[in-house]
Chains A and B, each alone.
Chain A
Amino acid sequence: MLVTRGFKGRRREGDADRLRLPPGQFLTPEFPVLTTGPTQHTRLDRWSLALQHGGSLLGKWSWEQFEALPQTEITCDIHCVTKWSKFDTRWRGVTIDNLLRAAGLAVAPTGFLMAHCDGGYTTNLLVADLIEARAMIATHFEDLPLLPSHGGPARLLVPHLYFWKSAKWVRRLAFREENTPGFWESHGYHLRGDPWREQRYEGDR
């Protein structure tokens, strides 16, 4: 550990907050927007969500059909790889468990998945990180429809991983036989991205 001469630190969170912050993160009350390109605007009457495995379609929902699926609300802390964390964010949407159920699947067909989004963004995930109520397709934030700049109409929410995994404007979940890197994972970021292990970049353990 190298002590930085003269550095004391001002943004001291209380002890309870410090325990909730993964290493290297700081707490913010704001909700910064970080996107690689322009915000996507998808009309609800053109929106659909598909579940795929190889060439076969396992399920597909229009906006109306998707909104009719069982809704779940979760309150969670979120952690961005650019160092900000935000506590107690409240979301509503459809859990991946309920999505699989709606597609008539008792279990996921493979252990890996690629999320595909409007604008071409992709991110890879372990199915184990998505099931058992750990993740959802979120459509509402704090009781309001999710804004386009925050990923609306629907984004993935995988709060226990760095937030680039919670892909904005998600449209398609494709099961894969292998864990191949998505967009940021091909640009130097970690394949899994667990904030508690500080898996920010490709070279992190």
Chain B
Amino acid sequence: MIDAATAAAQWRVATVTAIRAETASVKTISFDVPGWPGHLGGQHVDLRLTAEDGYVAQRSYSIASGAGTSPQIELTIDAVPDGEVSGFLHEELRVGDQIEIRGPIGGYFAWSAEYDYGLLLIAGGSGIVPLMSMLRSRDAAGATQPARLLYSSRGIDQIIYRAELDRLAAQTTQFTLTHTLTRNAPSGWTGERGRIGRVMLTRRQFTPVGNPDVYVCGPTAFVETIAEHLVAMGHRASNVRTERFGPTGAIRT
């Protein structure tokens, strides 16, 4: 009997089964990972790439697919400028290639059906990925508590998972979706415009009423600013869970 921690720490050989473009700079890669121990929404994996001369690079990426024990998992990866690993994954990786993966990692920035409380999700750019995993997990689990997502993108073409998010929002009144566009909004756009601030958070009911669980993921400055607003609005700091990635991509280069 292998315990969960040992299973998660073990490197496994994953095979790429599909690659699809989400936006011009974002791709979702599907992997078959035999022996995958299963994960919660919001957890991540480590990838290990090895060059012929033995040079090794490792990076962490959030899991995009919903919770479960299926050996098929998906990662959604943003091509960061000059990214050594994300550049390789975008430009070189092909269906059928093999890559080493271990995980799942991180039990804190994660959603479990056992904790079906009101949920507030705030994403900036590719910070949507772990939150999408949570939303997919909620949907599959038939979660009953209300969830809201406020998702900030530069323009409409940079929105990741746009169609799927619309579908999730249309199928249940328990999930409320709001987009905000910070650079260019097309004419007729009915969503929010501009950066997320306290006024927008209040208008979209990201208030502490009912003590919801709050998850914020995005670039460092984005998360830093929003977390401060949330605390100032009365959210308990211990209810606000954050995941930040910096310009060097501490979490996903």
Contact of B9 among A38, A149, A184, A204 (CB under 8 A): A204
The docked-state distance in angstroms from the alpha carbon of A204 to that of B106 is 14
Q: Least Cβ distance of A136 to chain B in Å?
A: 24
Contact of B250 among A9, A84, A119, A183 (CB under 8 A): A84
Digitize B211-253: 1 where CB-to-A-CB distance is under 8 Å, 0 elsewhere: 0000000001000100110110000011011101111101101
Q: Which of the 9-residue segments B47-55, B121-129, B173-181 touches chain A? A: B47-55
Interface residues on A, range: 35 or more
Q: Least Cβ distance of B110 to chain A in Å?
A: 9
Q: Least Cβ distance of B198 to chain A in Å?
A: 14
Digitize B96-110: 1 where CB-to-A-CB distance is under 8 Å, 0 elsewhere: 011110000111110
Query: Within 8 Å CB of A2, what residues of B?
Result: 13, 50, 98-100
Pair B6/A203 contact, Cβ less than 8 Å: yes
Any chain B CB within 8 A of the CB of A89? no
Query: Within 8 Å CB of A184, what residues of B?
Result: 108
Of chain B, the residue at the smallest CB distance from A30 is B248
Pair A38/B240 contact, Cβ less than 8 Å: yes
Number of residues of chain B lying within 8 A (CB) of chain A: 56
Once A38-B237, A82-B250 are accepted as A-B contacts, the answer to whether A8 and B100 lie under 8 Å apart by CB is no
A12-47 contacts to B, CB under 8 A, are 12, 23-26, 28-30, 32-40
Of chain B, the residue at the smallest CB distance from A82 is B250
Pair B246/A4 contact, Cβ less than 8 Å: no
Once A10-B84, A187-B106, A203-B9 are accepted as A-B contacts, the answer to whether A1 and B220 lie under 8 Å apart by CB is no
For the residues of B in contact with A, the DSSP-based class is mixed
Any chain A CB within 8 A of the CB of B193? no
B1-21 contacts to A, CB under 8 A, are 3, 5-10, 13
Once A4-B51, A82-B251 are accepted as A-B contacts, the answer to whether A11 and B84 lie under 8 Å apart by CB is yes
In the A-B complex, the 7 residue pairs with the closest CB atoms: A203-B9, A32-B250, A32-B246, A202-B5, A38-B227, A187-B107, A203-B5
Having A4-B99, A25-B58, one finds 14 other A-B pairs with CB under 8 Å, namely: A2-B13, A4-B88, A8-B52, A11-B84, A12-B55, A30-B247, A37-B227, A38-B230, A83-B59, A84-B248, A119-B237, A201-B105, A203-B6, A204-B9
